[in-house]
Each structure stands twice: as C-alpha cells, then as structure tokens.
A and B are shown apart, each in its own frame.
Chain A
Amino acid sequence: MNIWEAILLTVITASTPLVIAALGELVTERSGVLNLGVEGMMIIGAVAAFVGAQLSGSPYVGILCGIAGGAVSSQLFAFLTLTLVANQVATGLALTLLGLGVSGMIGEGYVSVPGVRLPEIAIPVLSDVPVIGAVLFRQDLIFYLSIVLLLGVNWFLFRSRAGLKLRAIGDSHTSAHALGIHVIRTRYLAVMFGGACAGLAGAQLSLVYTPQWVENMSAGRGWITLALVVFASWRPWRVFAGGYLFGAVTILQLHAQALGLGIPSQYLSMLPYAATIVVLIIISHNRRTTMINTPASLGKAFVPER
C-alpha cells in the first residue's frame, strides 16, 4: 500500500461520520425541524457503541447500541419541540449539553480501556482491483452503510411518495396538515432518523476512527455537520461531497502537523473550524439562493388547531 492509498483511507475514515450524521440531519431539516443537538446525539452514540462493544465483545452489537443511543436521545428532543413546542434552538443546545454530560458519566469507567475495532469486510473480486479495491472495497461495515444511506436518502426524498410528503411538511406544515398529512408523526420519525444517523456516526468514531473512549471525542463534528447541511443546500449528494471536503481538510492538517512545516499545530487544528466558517460565509451571502433552498418551515413550531 502506498502513501496515497493510506491518505485516501484516512480521508474516508474522517469523512464517513460527517457524511452519515449530515444525511440524518438533512432528513430532519427537510421535514422542517432544526435539531442542533447533533453533537450530543453523536457523543451518546459513541459512548453507547463503545460500551456495547465492550460488554458484548462484538463491534456489531456496538453499532446497534450506537444507533439506539442516538435515536433514543433524539426522541427527548422530539418530545420537547414537537409535543411541547419548546424552542428548537434552545432544546437542541440542551440535548448537546445533556449528551456531553451523560456520555462523560457513562464513559468514565472506560477511559483508556482498549477498544474493539470494527473489522474490514473485503468485497470479493472488487477488492482485488488495484488502488480502488484497497481503498473502497476493503472497508468496514459503517463505510458501506454510509453509501447505502446516501443512495437511500436520495431515493427516499426525491422518488418516494413518503419523501414527497416529508418535503411538503418542511415547505409548509399548515398546508400539509390541511391536506391530512400527519405532520407531527412524520417529524417524530424524521428526528428519530436523524438521531439514529448521528448515533451511527458516533459509533464510527469510537469503533473505527479511534477505537477507544475519550471524553468529548466528537470534538465539534456534530456542529460541523450542521454547517454541512447548510453548505449542501439540503441536497444529499452535496452533503456527501461536502463531508469529504471536510474530511480531507482534517486529514491534511494532521499530515501537515506530522511534516512539521513550522506552522504551530494549534493553527492547523483550527483549520476544520475555520473552514466551516469560510464555507458558511460563501454559501450564505447570496440571500436569494439560501432563501429558495431552505425548507420554509424550518425551525418553526407547529400546533394543530383542534
């Protein structure tokens, strides 16, 4: 394996959690709900996956635990914002703060415990293709899932009737309600899907990216995910591309640190965060396109008349 293959592999590993979490949040936001708690759901997923894998000895059980952790915590948010119509921004923050706290508490006994790494699955025939084979077809399950998710979300949103309904709710929940579409129920499901994806992304962090438990190991990735969705103007393929762009930035700064170019490591570590800001500026300054692309009911509370 040469150096470029190695770099590509690390880029994929760094990008996968961003792509997965962002696809989940994309579906949530397309239904008109702004869940700022991605960071919290992701860290809960990470700790749940790690502990699940430790207790069962199987990383696959870990993945399930991660997904469940993210999904369950998302329902707290859903209950508050959808049933009790609490402010979505504040509730998302609450979910993040609670997630960081709970994960710290659960994970306390697991700090510096050696983790269980998710094994690679080589796809027959394809994995023997030079370069591409090693990079794309000798990957772990979560990478393959990220591709399935990308195609699945794209199909669901733009080809299925249920996806059409979800987009309709995101565009105007009052109109959707008048047509007899179940606004609240759909949104609960959309939030749960977003939570499950964030949990899966967290599982990738603690089972693949760095197979161990470190407090706050999501390190702002949940927030970057939110920026990615805006950057991608709520389109799955662009989320995918954006996720890889950010993954590449993260990996390149790590390599630059290793090479010791004379730039302080702290400045290189700032890069992903600074890149997020730059990307947000580029994408938002055209108000017109932002306005057209943003789901019109995003972040607005819905209380049906009875």
Chain B
Amino acid sequence: MTVSDASAVPLLSVRGLTKLFGSFAACNEIDLDIAGGEIHALLGENGAGKSTLVKMLFGVLQPSAGQITWQGQAVSIGSPAEARKLGIGMVFQHFSLFEALTVGENIALSLDPKISLAQISDEAASLSKAYGLPLDPKAHVADLSVGERQRIEIVRALLQNPRLIILDEPTSVLTPQEADRLFETLFKLRGEGRSVLYISHRLEEVRRICDRATVLRHGRVTGACDPRQETPASLARMMVGSEIAEVHREVLAPGEVRLDVSRLSVPARTPFGVSLKDVSLSVRAGEVLAIAGVAGNGQGELFDVLSGEVTVSDAKAIRIRGRDVGDLGINGRRLLGASFVPEERHGHGAVTGMPLSDNLLLARSQSDRKSFLGGGIFSVIRHASIRSATQRVCAEMDVRKSGEDPSAGALSGGNLQKFIVGRELDRQPALLIVNQPTWGVDAGAASRIRQALIDLAKAGSAVVVISQDLDEIFEIATNIAVISEGRLSEPYPAGTLTLERIGLLMGGIHETHSGGEAAHAH
C-alpha cells in the first residue's frame, strides 16, 4: 500500500495481535510491518498500548491472540532471551539496569554466559567508540547520569548484533543536545541496514527522524503514514482522536511576592540523591514560574524543601507571603495558604489503597481542621463533610470514577491526577507548587490541568510548576528557570527563551560548554 518495495518480505510483521488484561484489551488486533533498514515510529499517547505491544514483541508479555512473523517465519516469542536470539534488541523507557552492579556486569547479564567479563568489556568499549557512546565498563551504574545509563542500554542491545532495535520513549530523559546525539547513532544503525522501532509521543521528533509511522489509540491502530508528509496537527489528530482544547493564557501584572527563596543549599539526603546548591527564586501573585530540567537534577529535592516535607535549619532561606518558613513543616506552610502537588501520585500524593475521601483528608487534615475534624482533642473524623468535599472536587475537575468513593488505585492516572490537583485548587491556595503536573496523564486530562493552573494564576495566586515537558512549559509559564545538577538558573520571561537556549541551560549552566563528553565526567 505504501510506497517502496512491497515485494520484499518485511523484517517483522504482526497480524491481529491482541493482549487482554482481564476483560480490558490493552492491544486490540494490531497490524504492523517493519521493513529492513527503516526507522519506524510507533506513535500514541500514554495508555494507547505502545508499551504492551513492544513487550509482546520482546517476549516479556505473551499475546492473547494474533501472529508475529519474523523474516517470513511465524514465531512465538516466549521470553526476552528468545527475542534476543531472533535478533531483537530493546532499550526500555524505565531502564532495566542494576544500580549496585558495574556497567560491565550489567551488560554481561544479557549476554551468553560463556563469554568472559573481560571480553565483554573490550567489546563494549569498541562498540561504544564506534557509535559515539562513551562508557566506562568498571563504573557503577548508581554513579551515572540518565543519559549515560541509556547508553548502557543501547550498547547492551547492540552487542547482540540485532536486526531490530526497539527504543521506548528514549528522548524523554534527554536534553535536546543529547537527543541529537542519539539520532546520529540511530542514523548510523539504519545505514547498516538495521531497523529501529521508535516509540514516542513527540510529534516533531518523529517527523524529523522516522521513515514510517504507525499510530495507536486505545489499543487499536488508527493510522499508518509517512510522518514526513504529515503536519504535527494531522499526526496529533490520529493520536488523540478529537481535537484537544487549546489552553488559553493571559498575562497579568504581577502582584506581591508569595514565595521567596534565597541562597538555599541542602546536602543530598540519600547516596543517590542530588544536593541543592545556592538556589534562589521568587514568585509573585499572578505568575507561573516553570522550572525546567532533565529528570534527576534535583527537582524532587527542590519540591521536598519547598513543601516542607524536608525542613532546613535556616528559616529565612524560604519565605512564604513574607513569613520565614524554612524550618516550618508542610502543614504550617499549608496554613499560610500554600498547596502542594508532588510528582508521584501513588504513595506520595495519594495512598493507593485508600478511598478518595481519605485521600482528601490526607492533604487537608490541618488546613481544613474546622470542617473535617470534631471531638476536640480526640480529633474525630467527620466522614460526611469530607465525602461531600470529595464529591465537589470530583465534579469540579471532571474526575471519572466508578462508584461513590473508590480507592485511589482504581482511578486511571489522568483522573487521579485531576483529583489530586483539584483537591488543592478546592482550597483556593495563595501559592501552588506542582511537580510534573501532567506526567503520564492522557492528553484530555493534561489540558484540563494546565488550564486550571493558568486560571489559578489569573485569579491571583502564585504558581510554581516543576516540569520536564518543554511543550507544557511554553504553554503555561510566564517565567522559566532551569535546574541542572541541583543549581537553578535565573528566571527568564517565557517569551525571551528559545528551545535551544533552554537545552543549553539544561546541559549545565555552571560549566563552560566544551562540546565533549568529558565535561560531564565529574
């Protein structure tokens, strides 16, 4: 149907592939063809079934129905080992690396046990040189950056000389510059006649590097195309189905300072944590300050300190509405009108096994003490008033749920996130601090949450958004600062920053950029 040589047998061909979890079809009769020597995009938003599909191709999951054909032969892929034997390599989105082991050991684990560790190290070293992926086989993974970890995964896959390499959202953890370097490697692979299955929801990227694209939505194939012939809008339509509501923003004259952080330094609390170094920032009412950065550069640590989950001895380092709060706990800060939404929904922003009403109380037991608790010193919980507040939040944020008060774990990621954000908005906070507001959330929920954040700022609150998603940042921020290795750049007005500029800041503002890899060695 599509252009080139239909006569050649595709490298991989999938027909009617279906995966059921209970009665839910994560993949529903998927058809897919990957030709030799092409970079093939698998597009789809979160929850479309991309990960389930590739897990079946790599033998991690077993299909419920359907057929996989490899180089013209019908195959059943029972395990990752079988997939590797066929010539399929995989680079996972959440890396399957072992922090306590060395790079060499990590690579050895997926190879033939007969090859010695020394031999593997040699081969890995020469491979990484050939593809421009520098690595030290003796280094411990725990000490490496995210980009370096991804290189291990890629080298690990390449060592087995695969015909097909699957990459799951590889650029979501990279700076734009690191991503460019990855693309070079991919082109080199294609040049050697290998195929790449490239999973992404980033349209620009797919249009730039992929030869063909298959689009998934709700577990079904909704389109196959040449992405270079499409516009971002047309790809987005295939991916999302209906048009997404656009987020509207108006800039207001900023008001009083709501959050003021000056020269805040916090040592890392865990061996693998990041220490914050000399962080200063200031947010006024009506502003949305976005803090951009690649994952693992101190965002979590910054959130913990701003929220008061971790206090600092210097009370003056953090001021909320003019009060020194560095040594004040999270509830003390909430009583000053601050609200917080952490990155992790399960087990941080919400307790997965508890009903929504309990999860409402979780964040508001002290700030709404008067309405939610009674019985004096015994603090008896007023379940009825909490339940009605829960219904109010759910109605306001359009939280889709089954039953009156389901457990947080029963909600989809997007609905739970809407609930968690709504729980805080319901208080009409003077200051809202959000970490990764739309991480792993479907497009509909994401646009609703972004609009809510903008509306909150418009109504006169100050908003801090910590995010890795640059599109999101450009959509909602009035000011942008970049965090890198625990240091925060100055804030820039959103209009004055380009993508390239942010990318450079993400790569490290405190170093003069030398262009080489070695700059990151320490």
Contacts and interface: CB of A to CB of B under 8 A. Distances in A.
Interface of A: 161, 164-165, 167-168, 171-172, 174-181, 288, 291-292, 295-296, 305-306
B391 interface: no
A305 B59 CA distance: 12
B271 A161 contact: no
Contacts of B95: 175
B424 interface: no
A291 B99 contact: no
B98 A175 contact: yes
B375 interface: no
B62 A168 contact: no
Interface residue tally on B, bucketed by range: 20 to 34
A171 B100 contact: yes
Nearest to B269: A287
A181 B98 CA distance: 13
Q: From DSSP, what is the main secondary structure of chain A's interface residues? A: helix
Interface string B92-118: 100111111100010011100100000
Contact of A291 (B55, B61, B84, B271): B271
Nearest to A161: B113
A292 B271 CA distance: 7
Contacts of B97: 172, 175
A178 B271 contact: no
A305 B84 CA distance: 20
Given A178-B80, A306-B62, A171 B99 contact: yes
Contacts of B59: 180
Given A164-B108, A172-B98, 17 more contacts: A167-B100, A171-B98, A171-B100, A174-B96, A175-B95, A177-B60, A179-B80, A179-B96, A179-B109, A180-B80, A180-B81, A181-B109, A291-B270, A292-B100, A292-B271, A305-B55, A305-B61
B365 interface: no
A284 to B, nearest CB: 15
Q: Which of A174, A178, A288, A292 has the most CB of B within 10 A?
A: A178
Contacts of B100: 167, 171, 292, 295-296
Nearest to B100: A171
Contacts of B84: 180
Contacts of A292: 100, 142, 271
Contacts of B55: 305
B237 to A, nearest CB: 31
Nearest to A292: B271
Interface in B45-89: 55, 59-62, 79-81, 84
A167 B79 contact: no
B92 A178 contact: yes
B109 A165 contact: yes
Q: Which of A161, A174, A176, A181 has the most CB of B within 10 A?
A: A161
Given A164-B108, A165-B109, A305-B61, A172 B79 contact: no
A47 B110 CA distance: 43
Contacts of A161: 108, 113
A100 to B, nearest CB: 33
Given A179-B109, A181-B109, A168 B271 contact: no
Contacts of A172: 96-99
Q: Which of A174, A178, A180, A291 has the most CB of B within 10 A?
A: A180
B268 to A, nearest CB: 9
Q: Which of B60, B81, B109 has the most CB of A within 10 A?
A: B109
A180 B110 CA distance: 8
Nearest to B95: A175
B110 to A, nearest CB: 5
Nearest to A305: B61
Nearest to A180: B80
A296 B141 CA distance: 14
Nearest to A169: B98
A283 B97 CA distance: 28
Interface in B236-276: 270-271
Contact of B109 (A168, A174, A305, A306): A168
15 contacts: A164-B109, A165-B109, A168-B101, A168-B105, A171-B99, A171-B100, A178-B80, A178-B92, A179-B96, A180-B59, A180-B79, A180-B81, A180-B84, A296-B99, A305-B61
Shortest 9 CB-CB contacts between residues of A and residues of B:
A180-B80, A175-B96, A178-B96, A161-B113, A171-B98, A180-B81, A171-B100, A180-B79, A168-B98
Contacts of B99: 171-172, 296
Q: Which of B92, B95, B96, B108 has the most CB of A within 10 A?
A: B96
Contacts of B96: 172, 174-176, 178-179
B144 to A, nearest CB: 15
Nearest to B114: A161
Contacts of A174: 96
Contacts of B60: 177-178, 305
A178 to B, nearest CB: 4
Contacts of B109: 164-165, 168, 176, 179, 181
A180 B270 CA distance: 30
A178 B94 CA distance: 11
Nearest to A295: B100
Contacts of A180: 59, 79-81, 84, 110
Contacts of B113: 161
B271 A288 contact: yes
A64 B173 CA distance: 54
A164 B101 CA distance: 9
A172 B98 CA distance: 6
A8 B271 CA distance: 41
Contacts of B142: 292
A292 B113 CA distance: 27
A12 B482 CA distance: 61
Nearest to B110: A179
A199 to B, nearest CB: 29
B183 to A, nearest CB: 25
A306 B55 CA distance: 10
A187 to B, nearest CB: 16
B79 to A, nearest CB: 5
A39 B60 CA distance: 38
A255 B61 CA distance: 62
Contacts of A171: 98-101
Nearest to A162: B113
Contacts of A176: 96, 98, 109
Nearest to A165: B109
B99 to A, nearest CB: 6
A167 B271 contact: no
A174 B97 CA distance: 10
Contacts of B110: 179-180
Contacts of A168: 98, 101, 105, 109
A288 B501 CA distance: 37
Nearest to B113: A161
A306 B97 CA distance: 21
Contacts of B80: 178-180
Interface in B136-173: 142
Nearest to B90: A178
Contacts of A178: 60, 80, 92, 96
Nearest to A290: B271
